[in-house]
């Protein structure tokens, strides 16, 4: 049996969530009435064991294990929950905050290491795209034409009257420098080490 | 009704438009040129980090710092109104502008990062970018000019059963700014109407996400494609020929994976996918290969054009078409 | 002193009697009465043990008669305790020629030190003496109201209010926009009765009331009419009422219905929630009152067919509308509500399918006088549904754009009622209610249990969407208790839609100048203690125009509104005369005071600026706006305020600090509470009661500093309508001080609350400390 002790243990998780830079100033988590409307429209809930309403409940009840729950990685970030929540709450935003908490703890890094190539591309070209380690599987799923597209993209763009999509040298330098000073470079290295 | 500009516009480049459906960009420019929209593209503008952001790879501060840099480029060149072709860019830029305006600590941090990168000149001052007044989706710019659009139509596109897929990150993130419906989005339905095409309007799953779910497409493929399949199924039940998009990421999910899902489910959907810019450009009589860029599509658009008696002259070296789906 | 000195001299001739009360030691143990007596300069100074006792009356009265006194000061307890008593004791003098010095709550009880307490007592008495010199005889305001009322809206609330008024002998005009009275209640069919655990027939309950209203000699029912304009003058309302032409002569029509038979125009019947059709000439329902036909002006094609068949010659297609003026003493807003516009929640597919209906539509379907004569049949195919799913809180408790943040209060009970009715007549039909919370307060809980035992199923979850597949509805939600996303198949879906303010409510409130809430319901003057009064005196509200409520509550409120009107008319209400008075010779009708007054007390009548003494609170906000100095507040004139300040600061010693605290009535009671609780307060503090801080102007503040005040405190209760303005004012006052080289820190502003007296005492202490620091430099 769970006991809510008279001597208050400070309820920290929800406060941390609200303090997060991603949290909108009007994030209404305290107003949640557990109506489940978010879950009822949630593709993650329909396809997996993920339940945004229950995630909110656990945050409100200071259940830190929610951060380590694999299910939070099943959110599609589609914000459908946000668009209907009658109480001004935003499960999608809270999900993203919990994931960052999991990454900060280290556990979550394993979940995102396969996307690291996106970061490399970003720093190299100033643009991101589908991480190239997924090309093989995409070519397999989509067809060999997909590889042709990747190879010939600049020519196709030229045919369409568009210039190169890669940023000029000095712009890339600016981007790289920002990502260095913002700590992203270090973060990326750390994530990559997780492999 | 909110104010929508038609000048001083920075047409914001999107990573997925760049390399997956560049025809969206050429179509957008093609339309803008014909409806008197004054826009500008800046090669220095970086990508918004959207995919990386929702892969949870990027942290919010890095995303925001890069947004501040892009905002500065917009302001510096006198193109303070940003128009995006991708819904992810839309949500990411608005979120960043909100943080920069409302969160002093984050703003100072971002400016510190810019200073450390010798980019003092790109520092962000509160209010530089108004998330509601300066950031738009291209479709909104079109909507504001729908009369001009109607007057430019040269090709009759009626006779198709058309449905729309409204991008989640346009409708549902900053829903107070969304025009023409959040819970029953109709923005691109109205644009189709402007080129003379009546859409089917509401259908079950109309609001449902494309299924890409950023990481889900790669790490949770079954769930991801199940969502897409559900939507395709609903469209099929409504006998839809063509699904209109407003985001390259959604378009990828449907166009690239439809043949795959058809094979897996042993069914045929036979639904074409076009971005709203491509659709309007088509109505304007633009060249399918030189402007629409249909050569980068997986579900071939040629049968659709044939259905419309569109003359196909181009001779393309690249062909992304799925070999499996023979239409 | 910037006062008129000639007046000063004449005031000096006044004979003033000062009566000091020892209060059984409460005062005299701390205040040196000898010293106090000798320091007071007046015609008569007397001291007694218990002035409020019945002996006190004789002593004061005898003294007034024998010594020919003109003005009286009673230095005793707080005026809150005994002012009314002493006002009576000074008879034959006018009661307003009395001032009280609060020597107990605000002196002896808060100042244990004899020397400083005595000093303070002297200045309090002096202040009262100075002030009373300027007192003028006043008459209390007696509110008298014309014995007539207009009730706008002919639903259950309006009918109930009209009947109650009429039975109390008040002439009442019931104004209804529709061709018939009855409102929403006639449509609902059945009402729930928690005591009997049964449903009663709404029409059977309403009909006697309607009939009584029709028969009652004091009620005039005007259907097809709306309020066009309203003007308030000295407590009366001049209304213009516009009636649409019915095009059927009421006295002739015998309601035979022949006309409708021949009318070629079919119109969706709003009485049946658009589920059936009627003709362009129609009577909404069989028992409609008045019992006559009406032509729908928008739909009639003027073909004249009806005219041909009408044997009574009742139809007049050329009939014109008219505008009727009327004057009434009071107005009741009973304009009701409307239901939520389902276009705002398209995901529930309302309007896409016939078998997704609202509770009101279900009520019509199950009404014996409805489209299916009371049988529960699906609109699409006239078959009994296998499963009815009800969705609660549709549009209510919803913060999203278009939604209503409040709970609509009745829909849980309505759903249970309909579920019970279905279960009784169609036990094989499954009924599921999808809810977030079931709200069945009080006795209704019994009815809720009854529904449960009837087999009504409840699933806790708010549906996100309703889809249709192959003719079957899918209600999608999460069963939050079993943590499971769920799809419920149904063949009839019923939406419990929100109650919204009706357009009539918004229009009528605009015409009457009555304030609305954020949600656009009529705002009550005070939700707890003045629930049926509005911001405009003489205008009352009842029923759903004021917010969601059920029939019982609507009727209770209607009766309350009628009782309030009757109070005004019969007893009349006696009010303190401390209100604004206008010097017509100075007023140039700039109307600035009218705009500023939040109590809507000022208006122009017959080319003269008039203040309704019943609405005016004497707050003084208008004085600031008046550039011509045409406004005074009786009992709080500039002279009186200045005189009080002078008295408070008289004989100040060089080393002594004196702080003047202007407190509103809430602050004054709070200060009394400090005394009652014997909390000590710095002896420097001298309290002056002022109706609203808006009354205090730069000249008063500057005068106080000039006369030696070391600091000034202003304290006001933040929940009065003028408070927002007060805050701006304080900033202005501080600037004024700076201009006059006075440190603005010498002026402090606090919020005051009655129970928070300890806080106020602390504020006094802190401020006294700050002033002492400033003095030391
Ligand atoms: S987050 Fe919103 S939608 Fe979800 S359970 Fe809470 S109140 Fe309901
Ligand atoms: S954003 Fe995530 S939690 Fe919200 S509806 Fe989409 S998948 Fe579900
Ligand atoms: S108007 Fe004439 S025909 Fe119509 S109901 Fe009245 S009496 Fe009968
Ligand atoms: S005149 Fe009007 S009401 Fe009379 S029958 Fe013709 S359409 Fe009907
Ligand atoms: S009464 Fe019940 S259904 Fe109606 S809004 Fe309140 S909780 Fe919801
Ligand atoms: S004193 Fe106050 S309430 Fe009276 S008229 Fe002036 S502003 Fe209105």
pLDDT digits (tens, 9 = 90+) for B195-218: 999 999 999 999 999 999 999 999
**Please, which pLDDT band fits residue C121 given cuts at 50, 70 and 90?**
very high
Kindly report the nearest CA distance between residue A55 and chain B, in angstroms.
18
Q: Are B14 and A148 in contact (CB under 8 A)?
A: no
What backbone phi and psi angles, to 5 degrees, belong to C434? -95, 120
pLDDT attached to residue B321: 53
Per-residue HEC secondary structure of C519-560 comes to CCCECEEECCCEEEEECCCCEEECHHHCCCCCHHHHHHHHHH
Facing B52 at nearest CB: one of A100, A119, A149: A119
Best of A85, A86, A94 to mutate for ligand 1, by most ligand atoms within 8 A of CB?
Answer: A85
Rg (CA), chain C: 34
CA distances from C35 to C14, C352, C601 (A): 24, 90, 47
**pLDDT (average), residues C523-535:** 83
Q: Measuring from atom 8 of ligand 4, which residue has the nearest CA?
A: C263
Residue B5 CA, distance from chain mean position: 18
Percent over 90 (pLDDT), chain B? 92
Per-residue HEC secondary structure of C36-48 comes to HHHHCCCCEEEEE
Distance CA C741, CA C218 (A): 67
> Does residue C247 register a pLDDT over 90?
yes
Query: Which residues numbered 116-175 in A keep a CB inside 8 Å of some CB on B?
Result: 116, 118-119, 122, 126-130, 134, 137-138, 141-146, 148-150, 152-153, 155-157, 159-165, 167-168, 170-171, 174-175
**pLDDT (average), residues C371-384:** 93
Distance CA C245, CA C154 (A): 18
> Does residue B326 register a pLDDT over 50?
no
C165-203 burial: b if 16+ Cβ within 10 Å, else e: bbebebbbbbbbbbbbbbbbbbbbbbbbebeeeebeebb
Distance CA A41, CA C107 (A): 67
Look-up of token digits 């000798």:
C38
pLDDT attached to residue B313: 56
| Measured CA angle at B107 (ends B105, B111), to 5 deg | 120
Kindly report the nearest CA distance between residue C473 and chain B, in angstroms.
11
Distance CA C377, CA B114 (A): 69
Edge-first strand listing for the sheet containing C472-479: C465-469, C472-479, C484-490
Q: Are B304 and B273 in contact (CB under 8 A)?
A: no
**pLDDT (average), residues C284-306:** 92
Q: How many CB atoms lie within 10 A of CB B4?
A: 17
Q: Domains plus CATH for chain C?
A: 1-138 (3.40.50), 145-244+321-336+502-571 (3.50.50.60), 245-320 (3.30.70.20), 340-500 (3.50.50.60), 575-633 (3.30.70.20)
Q: Measuring from atom 3 of ligand 6, which residue has the nearest CA?
A: C616
Distance CA C379, CA C395 (A): 23
- Residues C593-610: tens digit of each pLDDT: 998 888 888 888 888 898
> Does residue B91 register a pLDDT over 70?
yes
pLDDT attached to residue B159: 87
Kindly report the nearest CA distance between residue B189 and chain A, in angstroms.
20
Residue C40 CA, distance from chain mean position: 46
| DSSP helix/strand/coil, A81 | helix
A71 touching chain C per CB within 8 A: no
DSSP string, B35-50: TT--EE--TTPPP--H
Distance CA A162, CA A72 (A): 40
Length of chain B: 327
pLDDT attached to residue C439: 96
**Please, which pLDDT band fits residue B327 given cuts at 50, 70 and 90?**
very low
Q: What is the mean pLDDT of chain C?
A: 91
Half-sphere exposure of residue C168: CA atoms within 13 angstroms, side-chain side: 23
Best of C345, C360, C405, C408 to mutate for ligand 5, by most ligand atoms within 8 A of CB?
Answer: C408
Best of A37, A39, A95 to mutate for ligand 1, by most ligand atoms within 8 A of CB?
Answer: A37
B51 touching chain A per CB within 8 A: yes
User: Taking Cα atoms as reference points, which of A38, B228, B206 lies closest to residue C347?
Assistant: B206
C285 secondary structure, DSSP code: S
Q: Are B320 and A146 in contact (CB under 8 A)?
A: yes
C573: exposed, middle or buried (C-beta count within 10 Å: 0-12, 13-18, 19+)? middle
Q: How far is the CA of C601 from the centre of ligand 6 (A)?
A: 6
- Residues B146-163: tens digit of each pLDDT: 999 999 999 999 889 999
Q: Which helix (H) or strand (E) holds C161?
A: helix C156-167
Inter-helix orientation angle B60-76/B104-116, to 10°:
70
Query: Which residues numbered 47-76 in A keep a CB inside 8 Å of some CB on B?
Result: 47-48, 73-76
Distance CA C179, CA C445 (A): 37
User: Taking Cα atoms as reference points, which of B110, B134, B128 lies closest to residue B72?
Assistant: B128
Facing C347 at nearest CB: one of B175, B176, B207: B207
pLDDT attached to residue B312: 59
Which two structure tokens, joined as six digits, stand for C486? 């769920």
Q: Which residues line ligand 4 (CB under 6 A)?
A: C 262-263, 265, 280-281, 295, 300-306
Q: What is the dihedral of CA C304, C310, C312, C316, to 10 degrees?
A: -20
Percent over 70 (pLDDT), chain C? 98
pLDDT attached to residue C2: 41
Q: Domains plus CATH for chain A?
A: 12-107 (1.10.1060.10), 111-192 (no CATH)
Q: Measuring from atom 4 of ligand 3, which residue has the nearest CA?
A: C259
pLDDT attached to residue B117: 96
More confident residue, C614 or A77: A77
> Does residue C80 register a pLDDT over 80?
yes
Distance CA C187, CA A177 (A): 71
Contacts of residue C731, Cβ cutoff 8 Å, sequence gap at least 6: none
**pLDDT (average), residues C358-370:** 91
> Does residue C631 register a pLDDT over 60?
yes
Distance CA B198, CA B161 (A): 8
Q: Are C363 and C418 in contact (CB under 8 A)?
A: yes
pLDDT attached to residue A131: 86
pLDDT attached to residue C572: 67
Residue C293 in contact with ligand 3 by CB distance below 6 A: yes
Cis peptide before C92, with omega less than 30 degrees from 0?
A: yes
Per-residue HEC secondary structure of C475-521 comes to EEEEECCCCEEEEEEECEEEEEECEEECHHHHHHHHHHCCCECCCCC
Q: Which residues pair with B83 in a beta bridge?
A: B11, B136
DSSP string, B140-202: HHHHHTHHHHHHH--S--TTS-EEE---HHHHTSSTTT--S-SSS--HHHHHHHHTT--B---
Whole-complex ipTM: 0.95
Q: Are B85 and B17 in contact (CB under 8 A)?
A: yes
Q: Measuring from atom 2 of ligand 1, which residue has the nearest CA?
A: A85
User: Taking Cα atoms as reference points, which of C663, C584, C600, C594 lies closest to residue C622?
Assistant: C594
Q: What is the pTM of this model?
A: 0.84
- Residues C1-19: tens digit of each pLDDT: 344 443 444 666 889 999 9
Q: Measuring from atom 6 of ligand 3, which residue has the nearest CA?
A: C253
Q: Domains plus CATH for chain B?
A: 9-137 (1.20.1050.140), 154-326 (3.40.50.11810)
- Residues C646-669: tens digit of each pLDDT: 999 988 888 889 999 999 988 998
| DSSP helix/strand/coil, A51 | coil
Q: Is the dihedral of CA C567, C572, C575, C580 positive or negative?
A: positive
> Does residue C749 register a pLDDT over 70?
yes
A48 touching chain C per CB within 8 A: no
Q: How far is the CA of A139 from the centre of ligand 1 (A)?
A: 40
CB–CB contact C401 B181 (8 Å):
no
User: Taking Cα atoms as reference points, which of A184, A159, A79, C162 lies closest to residue B316?
Assistant: A159
> Does residue B324 register a pLDDT over 80?
no
pLDDT attached to residue C573: 66
Helices (runs of H) and strands (runs of E) counted in chain B: 15, 7
Look-up of token digits 């035992």:
C453
Contacts of residue A102, Cβ cutoff 8 Å, sequence gap at least 6: A67, A68, A72, A108, A111
The number of the ligand 3 atom at minimal distance from the alpha carbon of C252 is: 7
B204: chain C residues, CB-CB within 8 Å? 467-469
**Please, which pLDDT band fits residue C726 given cuts at 50, 70 and 90?**
confident
B33: chain A residues, CB-CB within 8 Å? none
**pLDDT (average), residues C558-569:** 91
User: Taking Cα atoms as reference points, which of A143, A140, A142, A115 lies closest to residue A128?
Assistant: A115
Contacts of residue C238, Cβ cutoff 8 Å, sequence gap at least 6: C230, C231, C232, C325, C326, C327
**Please, which pLDDT band fits residue C777 given cuts at 50, 70 and 90?**
low
Taking 70 as the pLDDT cut, the residues of chain A under it are: none
The chains found to touch A (3+ Cβ pairs under 8 angstroms) are B, C
More confident residue, C459 or C24: C459
| Measured CA angle at C654 (ends C651, C657), to 5 deg | 85
Facing A80 at nearest CB: one of B56, B60, B172: B172
C478: chain A residues, CB-CB within 8 Å? 36-37, 39-40, 45, 51, 53
């Amino acid at each position: 049996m769970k006991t809510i002790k008279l001597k208050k243990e400070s309820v920290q998780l929800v406060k941390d969530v609200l303090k997060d830079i991603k949290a909108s100033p009007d994030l209404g988590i305290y107003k949640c009435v557990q109506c489940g409307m978010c879950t009822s429209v949630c593709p993650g809930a329909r396809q997996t064991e993920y339940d945004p309403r229950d995630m909110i409940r656990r945050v409100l009840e200071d259940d830190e294990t929610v951060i380590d729950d694999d299910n939070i990685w099943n959110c599609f970030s589609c914000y459908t929950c946000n668009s209907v929540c009658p109480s001004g709450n935003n499960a999608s935003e809270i999900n993203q905050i919990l994931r960052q908490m999991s990454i900060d703890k280290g556990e979550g890094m394993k979940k995102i290491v396969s996307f690291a190539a996106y970061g490399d591309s970003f720093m190299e070209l100033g643009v991101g795209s589908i991480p190239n380690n997924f090309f093989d599987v995409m070519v397999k799923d989509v067809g060999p034409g997909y590889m042709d597209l990747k190879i010939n993209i600049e020519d196709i763009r030229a045919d369409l009257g568009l210039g190169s999509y890669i940023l000029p040298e000095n712009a890339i330098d600016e981007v790289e420098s920002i990502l260095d000073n913002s700590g992203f470079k270090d973060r990326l290295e750390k994530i990559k080490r997780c492999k | 009704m909110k104010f929508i500009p038609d000048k001083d516009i920075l047409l914001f480049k999107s990573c997925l438009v760049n390399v997956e459906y560049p025809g969206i960009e050429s179509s957008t420019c093609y339309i803008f040129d014909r409806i008197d929209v004054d826009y500008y593209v800046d090669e220095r503008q970086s990508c918004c980090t959207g995919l990386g952001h929702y892969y949870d790879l990027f942290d919010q501060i890095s995303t925001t710092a890069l947004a501040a840099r892009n905002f500065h480029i917009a302001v510096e060149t006198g193109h303070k109104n940003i128009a995006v072709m991708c819904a992810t860019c839309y949500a990411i830029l608005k979120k960043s502008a909100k943080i920069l305006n409302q969160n002093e600590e984050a703003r100072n941090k971002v400016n510190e990062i810019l200073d450390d990168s010798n980019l003092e000149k790109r520092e962000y001052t509160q209010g530089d970018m108004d998330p509601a007044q300066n950031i738009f989706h291209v479709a909104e710019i079109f909507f504001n000019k729908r009369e001009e659009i109607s007057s430019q139509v040269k090709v009759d596109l009626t006779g198709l059963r058309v449905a729309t897929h409204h991008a989640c990150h346009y409708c549902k993130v900053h829903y107070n700014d969304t025009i023409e419906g959040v819970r029953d989005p109709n923005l691109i339905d109205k644009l189709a109407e402007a080129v003379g095409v009546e859409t089917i309007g509401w259908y079950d799953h109309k609001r449902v996400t494309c299924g890409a779910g950023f990481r889900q497409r790669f790490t949770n493929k079954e769930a991801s494609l199940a969502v897409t399949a559900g939507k395709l199924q609903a469209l099929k039940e409504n006998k839809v020929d063509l699904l209109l998009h407003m985001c390259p990421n959604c378009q990828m999910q449907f166009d690239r994976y439809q043949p795959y899902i058809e094979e897996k489910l042993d069914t045929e959907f036979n639904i074409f996918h076009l971005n709203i810019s491509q659709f309007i450009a088509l109505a304007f009589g633009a060249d399918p290969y030189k402007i629409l860029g249909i050569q980068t599509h997986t579900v071939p658009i040629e049968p659709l054009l044939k259905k419309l008696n569109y003359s196909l002259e181009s001779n393309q070296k690249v062909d992304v078409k799925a070999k499996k789906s023979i239409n | 002193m910037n006062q008129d000195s000639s007046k000063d001299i004449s005031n000096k001739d006044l004979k003033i009697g000062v009566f000091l009360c020892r209060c059984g030691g409460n005062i005299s143990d701390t205040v040196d009465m000898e010293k106090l007596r000798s320091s007071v300069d007046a015609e008569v100074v007397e001291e007694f043990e218990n002035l409020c006792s019945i002996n006190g009356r004789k002593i004061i009265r005898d003294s007034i008669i024998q010594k020919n006194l003109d003005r009286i000061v009673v230095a005793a307890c707080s005026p809150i305790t005994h002012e009314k008593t002493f006002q009576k004791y000074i008879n034959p003098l006018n009661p307003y020629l009395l001032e009280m010095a609060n020597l107990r709550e605000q002196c002896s009880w808060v100042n244990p030190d004899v020397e400083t307490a005595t000093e303070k007592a002297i200045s309090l008495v002096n202040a009262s003496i100075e002030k009373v010199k300027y007192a003028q005889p006043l008459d209390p305001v007696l509110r008298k109201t014309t014995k007539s009322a207009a009730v706008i809206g002919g639903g259950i609330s309006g009918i109930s209010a009209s009947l109650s008024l009429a039975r109390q002998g008040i002439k009442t005009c019931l104004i209804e926009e529709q061709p018939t009275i009855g409102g929403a209640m006639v449509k609902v069919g059945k009402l729930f009765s928690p005591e009997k655990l049964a449903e009663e027939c709404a029409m059977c309950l309403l009909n006697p009331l309607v009939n009584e209203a029709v028969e009652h000699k004091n009620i005039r029912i005007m259907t097809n009419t709306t309020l066009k304009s309203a003007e308030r003058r000295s407590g009366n309302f001049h209304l213009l009422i516009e009636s649409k032409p019915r095009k059927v002569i009421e006295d002739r029509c015998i309601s035979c219905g022949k006309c409708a038979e021949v009318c070629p125009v079919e119109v969706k019947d709003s009485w049946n929630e658009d589920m059936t059709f009627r003709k362009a000439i129609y009577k909404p329902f069989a028992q409609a009152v008045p019992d006559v036909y009406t032509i729908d002006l928008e739909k009639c094609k003027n073909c004249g067919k009806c005219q041909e068949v009408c044997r009574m010659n009742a139809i007049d297609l050329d009939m014109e509308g008219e505008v009727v003026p009327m004057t009434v003493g009071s107005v009741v807003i009973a304009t009701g509500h409307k239901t939520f516009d389902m276009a705002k929640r398209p995901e529930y597919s309302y309007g896409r399918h016939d078998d997704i209906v609202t509770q009101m539509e279900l009520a019509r379907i199950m009404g014996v006088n409805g489209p299916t004569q009371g049988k529960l049949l699906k609109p699409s195919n006239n078959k009994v549904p296998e499963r009815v799913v009800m969705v609660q809180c549709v549009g209510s408790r919803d913060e999203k754009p278009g939604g209503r943040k409040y709970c609509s209060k009745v829909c849980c009970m309505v759903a249970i009622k309909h579920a019970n009715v279905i279960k009784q007549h169609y036990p094989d039909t499954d009924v599921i209610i999808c809810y977030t919370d079931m709200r069945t307060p009080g006795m209704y809980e019994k009815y809720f249990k009854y529904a449960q035992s009837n087999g009504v199923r409840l699933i806790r979850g708010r549906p996100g969407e309703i889809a249709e597949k192959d003719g079957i509805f899918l209600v999608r939600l999460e069963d939050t208790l079993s943590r499971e996303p769920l799809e419920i198949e149904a063949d009839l879906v019923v939406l419990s839609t929100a109650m919204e303010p009706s357009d009539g409510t918004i229009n009528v409130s605009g015409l009457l100048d009555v304030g609305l809430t954020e949600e656009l319901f009529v705002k009550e003057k005070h939700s707890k203690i003045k629930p049926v009064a509005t911001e405009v005196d003489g205008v009352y509200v009842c029923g759903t125009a004021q917010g969601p409520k059920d029939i019982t509550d609507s009727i209770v409120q209607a009766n309350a509104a009628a009782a309030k009107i009757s109070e005004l008319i019969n007893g009349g209400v006696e009010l303190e005369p401390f209100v604004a008075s206008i010097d017509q010779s100075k007023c140039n009708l700039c109307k600035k005071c009218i705009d500023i007054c939040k109590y809507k007390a000022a208006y122009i009548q017959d080319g003269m600026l008039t203040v309704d003494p019943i609405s005016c609170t004497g707050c003084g906000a208008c004085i600031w706006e008046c550039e011509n100095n045409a406004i005074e507040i009786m009992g709080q004139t500039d002279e009186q305020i200045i005189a009080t300040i002078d008295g408070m600061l008289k004989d100040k010693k060089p080393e002594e600090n004196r702080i003047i605290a202007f407190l509103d009535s809430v602050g004054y009671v709070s200060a009394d509470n400090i005394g009652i609780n014997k909390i000590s307060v710095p002896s420097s503090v001298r309290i002056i009661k002022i109706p609203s801080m808006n009354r205090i102007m730069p000249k008063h503040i500057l005068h106080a500093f000039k006369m030696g005040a070391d600091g000034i405190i202003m304290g006001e209760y933040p929940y009065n309508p003028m408070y927002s303005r007060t805050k701006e004012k304080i900033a202005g006052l501080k600037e004024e001080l700076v201009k006059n080289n006075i440190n603005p820190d010498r002026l402090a502003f606090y919020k005051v609350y009655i129970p928070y007296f300890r806080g106020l005492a602390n504020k006094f202490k802190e401020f006294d400390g700050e002033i002492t620091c400033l003095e030391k430099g």
